[in-house]
């Protein structure tokens, strides 16, 4: 049942009876809930066109609406049509939704197949705060598509092919960790069982190498060469690489599990390798690639972006204003680049899956990269015209000082440390509620707090990581919603509820049902915006509407049996709706807290 559609149909019929054009009719939730539930300014817009007073037209439309027991219509100055949904209708809605497997969440008309690319951690590097947002945002976007009936697949697309691998192996070699591979005594590298590199070693070696490359050119050149060896699968580099990759991926997976981010594929950039030569050939064959300073590039600038600045002399190189730089698809040394692996990955995904849309979730510093990659793919026909390629660019998570979140000493905070911080804080809070020693519960609350704090912002915006605010049990937070569910659980545990229908009677109950209606429509808003903020806020509003009822009414002590059953049925429905919203956000529900 879609209440908004029903209202639209009723008003639309009336408008047609009057011989008017109903096409601009939009029904919205009321912004004056004390007056009505829905409203439309249609009469005001239409009146101008036909030279009538808006309020008169509104009255006329209402007179022509078919009589119904479900809605009450009224015309108010200057020409709004206000709609109140009757208690009877709200009750029916509840009882229908309670039995709907989608809990009334509207399904897309034509399900599409969406391929999600998020996570994207780089192998051999420890995950840090900067890696939090992509799995949080990506997982939720994927789930809102699932909730609305699309088919989805997700690939973590690890950064396992870049310079960091060459740097790490070079540093390990220099520090004597790889002697067995390089002493010339053996070639069965796969069997070297004494490979004793650990995560701790990697955590030391990579930063060391990364620092050194900035000042030591020979070192950097050698790392470039090592990277190329890995990409060309030269031994023993390739085997060492694989061993480091495996070690690192296991750790990355654990980190993502902590955050409830789940993937269908743990592919990486390197998995596109078999498609790289073909990709480059496509650009060459189609005449889309040109050589520039020894590299192969593809021009992707469009009209208006690539404005030549007049040359002062003949031999001066051509410069451009606001250029969208060409995409480099092959490096001077033949090495593969980030853009190339991304384009080749699209080729690979399209060969195997041909999704209707591919969605990438990274921070906004990669915006230009994706414009280049997408344009390359469209130009070369690697992505068919009708395939949508979307980059969801998120802002930075800042500390309270408004600068990117750092340790007290100004260092990078490890992802695990952030999670530990959240979990410790959640444990403290639980302890003050008399719950101790439940570390899984603390994880659910701590991580849920973080995720809700993140997702309740518009995705593109920077936001402040404020652990106390996120973890408050009575603010606009994840824990507040979890707490509401826990309260309902505790009522239901005591109630011995055997089922029954909702019979809406009071304003407080109406407010809850209207909050459910709003929550249900926020799925589509979040879906369309690629941003979960509407869903977060309406889930909070529902929890808050429920708390008003809870605080003012002792449900378990209700004497009227019919009324009590109705309230309990409403409790069950609110719980289900909140759990579904949390699931969609990638946040765990809790039994108690």
CB 329 within 8 A of CB 279: yes
Pick the binder of ligand ARG from 171, 340, 362, 520 (CB under 6 A).
362
Cβ-contact 379, 346 below 8 angstroms:
no
- Those residues with Cβ within 8 angstroms of residue 58's Cβ, 6 or more apart along the chain or in another chain: 43, 44, 75, 76, 79, 80, 81
Structure tokens at 115: 């391929």
Strand partners, 243: none
Nearer to ligand ARG, 414 or 524 (CB): 414
Choice between 362 and 534, CB closer to ligand ARG:
362
Say whether residue 168 binds ligand ARG (CB under 6 A). no
Beta strands 295-298 and 289-292, pairing class: antiparallel
Tell me the window of 117-125, 279-287, 297-305, 326-334 that interacts with ligand ARG (CB under 6 A).
117-125
Nearest to 248, CA basis, from 121, 419, 417, 416: 121
The residue within the footprint of ligand ARG, chosen from 37, 117, 150, 454 (CB under 6 A), is: 117
CB of 503 to ligand ARG, least distance (A): 51
Q: Does 139 bind ligand ARG (CB under 6 A)?
A: no
Q: Which is nearer to ligand ARG, 117 or 126 (CB)?
A: 117
Smallest gap, in angstroms, from Cβ of residue 163 to ligand ARG?
12
Minimum distance between the CB of residue 138 and ligand ARG, rounded to whole angstroms? Answer: 10
Q: Does 255 bind ligand ARG (CB under 6 A)?
A: no
Round to whole Å and give the CA distance between 156 and 122. 10
Applying CB under 6 A, the site for ligand ARG has a residue count of 8
**Minimum separation from the CB atom of position 119 to ligand ARG (A):** 8
- For residue 419, the minimal CB distance to ligand ARG (Å) is 19
Question: Pseudo-torsion of CA 228, 233, 234, 239, nearest 10°?
Answer: 110
Tell me whether the omega of the peptide bond preceding residue 236 falls within 30 degrees of 0, making it cis. Answer: yes
- Of the pair 71, 530, the CB lying nearest ligand ARG is at 530
Taking the CA atoms of residue 528, residue 156, residue 364 and residue 326 in that order, the dihedral angle to the nearest 10 degrees is -110
CB of 131 to ligand ARG, least distance (A): 8
Of residues 4 through 23, those in contact with ligand ARG by CB under 6 A are none
Would you say 94 or 373 has its CB closer to ligand ARG? Answer: 373
Interface residue with ligand ARG, options 54, 120, 446, 478 (CB under 6 A) = 120
Nearest CA to 93 among 583, 584, 573? 573
Among 84, 89, 157, 425, binds ligand ARG (CB under 6 A): 157
Query: Does the footprint of ligand ARG cover residue 588 (CB under 6 A)?
Result: no
Does 122 bind ligand ARG (CB under 6 A)? Our answer is yes
Q: How far is the CB of 369 from ligand ARG (least distance, A)?
A: 7
Nearer to ligand ARG, 117 or 205 (CB): 117
Give me the least distance between CB of 389 and ligand ARG, in Å please. Answer: 11
CB count in 10 Å sphere of residue 403:
11
Is 360 a binder of ligand ARG (CB under 6 A)? yes
**Of 116-124, 216-224, 252-260, 556-564, which part binds ligand ARG (CB under 6 A)?**
116-124
Query: Do residues 279 and 229 touch, judged by C-beta distance below 8 A?
Result: no
Q: How far is the CB of 377 from ligand ARG (least distance, A)?
A: 12
Contact pick of 79, 159, 453, 478 for ligand ARG (by CB under 6 A): 159
CB-CB neighbours of 532 under 10 Å? 32
Q: Using CA atoms in the order 498, 543, 532, 139, what is the torsion angle rounded to 10 degrees?
A: -50
Smallest gap from residue 135 Cβ to ligand ARG (A): 11
What is the β-pairing status of strands 80-85 and 71-76? antiparallel
- Is 372 a binding residue for ligand ARG by CB under 6 A? The answer is no
Q: Which two tokens stand for residue 379?
A: 């130009």
If residue 540 lies in a helix (H) or strand (E), which one and from where to where? helix 533-552
d(CA 267, CA 245): 11
What is the signed CA dihedral for 305, 307, 308, 309, rounded to 10 degrees?
A: -120
- The CB-of-342 to ligand ARG minimum distance in angstroms stands at 5
Binding status of residue 383 toward ligand ARG by CB under 6 A: no
Answer for the pair 559, 473: CB distance below 8 angstroms, yes or no: no
Q: Which among 124, 120, 105 has a CA at the least distance from the CA of 197? A: 124
Cα→Cα distances 80→55, 58, 502, Å = 7, 7, 31
Report the half-sphere exposure of 477 (CA within 13 A, side-chain side).
Answer: 21
Site for ligand ARG in 306-345 (CB under 6 A): 342
**Residue window 495-514: x/- pattern of binding to ligand ARG, with contact defined by CB under 6 A:** --------------------
The residue ranges that bind ligand ARG (CB under 6 A) are 117, 120, 122, 157, 159, 342, 360, 362
């Amino acid at each position: 049942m879609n209440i908004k559609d029903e209202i639209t149909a009723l008003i639309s019929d009336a408008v047609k009876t009057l011989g008017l054009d109903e096409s601009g009719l939009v029904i919205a939730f009321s912004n004056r809930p004390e007056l009505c539930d829905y409203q439309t300014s249609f009469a005001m817009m239409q009146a101008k066109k036909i030279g009538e007073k808006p309020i008169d037209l509104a009255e006329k439309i209402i007179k022509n609406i078919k009589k119904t027991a479900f809605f009450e219509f009224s015309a108010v100055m200057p020409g709004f049509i206000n709609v109140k949904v009757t208690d009877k209708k709200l009750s029916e809605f509840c009882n229908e939704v309670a039995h709907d497997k989608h809990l009334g969440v509207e399904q897309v008309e034509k399900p599409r197949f969406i391929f999600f690319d998020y996570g994207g951690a780089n192998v051999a590097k420890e995950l840090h705060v900067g890696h939090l947002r992509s799995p949080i945002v990506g997982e939720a976007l994927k789930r809102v598509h699932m909730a609305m009936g699309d088919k989805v697949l997700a690939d973590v697309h690890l950064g396992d092919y870049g310079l960091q691998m060459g740097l790490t192996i070079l540093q390990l070699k220099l520090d004597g960790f790889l002697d067995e591979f390089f002493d010339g005594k053996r070639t069965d590298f796969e069997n070297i069982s004494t490979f004793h590199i650990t995560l701790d070693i990697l955590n030391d070696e990579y930063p060391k190498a990364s620092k050194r490359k900035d000042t030591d050119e020979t070192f950097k050149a050698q790392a470039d060469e090592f990277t190329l060896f890995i990409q060309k699968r030269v031994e023993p580099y390739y085997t060492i690489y694989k061993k480091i990759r495996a070690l690192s991926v296991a750790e990355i997976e654990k980190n993502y599990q902590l955050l409830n981010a789940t993937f269908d594929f743990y592919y990486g950039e390197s998995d596109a390798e078999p498609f790289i030569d073909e990709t480059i050939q496509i650009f060459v064959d189609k005449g889309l690639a040109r050589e520039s300073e020894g590299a192969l590039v593809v021009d992707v600038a469009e009209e208006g972006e690539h404005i030549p600045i007049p040359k002062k002399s003949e031999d001066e190189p051509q410069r451009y204003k606001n250029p969208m730089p060409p995409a480099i698809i092959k490096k001077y040394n033949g090495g593969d680049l980030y853009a190339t692996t991304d384009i080749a990955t699209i080729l690979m995904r399209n060969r195997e899956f041909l999704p209707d849309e591919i969605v990438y979730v990274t921070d906004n510093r990669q915006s230009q990269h994706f414009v280049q990659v997408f344009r390359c793919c469209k130009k070369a026909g690697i992505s068919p015209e009708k395939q949508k390629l979307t980059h969801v660019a998120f802002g930075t998570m800042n500390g309270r000082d408004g600068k990117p979140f750092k340790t007290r000493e100004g260092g990078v905070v490890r992802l695990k440390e952030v999670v530990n911080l959240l979990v410790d804080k959640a444990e403290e809070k639980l302890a003050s509620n008399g719950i101790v020693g439940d570390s899984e519960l603390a994880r659910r609350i701590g991580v849920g707090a973080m995720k809700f704090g993140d997702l309740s912002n518009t995705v593109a915006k920077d936001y402040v990581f404020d652990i106390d605010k996120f973890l408050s049990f009575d603010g606009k937070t994840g824990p507040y919603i979890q707490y509401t569910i826990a309260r309902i659980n505790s009522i239901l545990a005591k109630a011995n509820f055997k089922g029954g229908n909702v019979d809406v009677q009071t304003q407080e109950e109406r407010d809850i049902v209207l909050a459910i209606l709003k929550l249900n429509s926020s799925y589509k808003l979040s879906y369309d915006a690629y941003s979960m903020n509407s869903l977060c806020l309406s889930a909070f509003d529902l929890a808050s509407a429920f708390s008003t009822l809870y605080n003012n009414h002792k449900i378990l002590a209700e004497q009227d049996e019919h009324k009590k059953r109705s309230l309990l049925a409403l409790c069950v429905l609110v719980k289900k709706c909140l759990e579904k919203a949390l699931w969609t956000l990638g946040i765990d529900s809790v039994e108690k807290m």
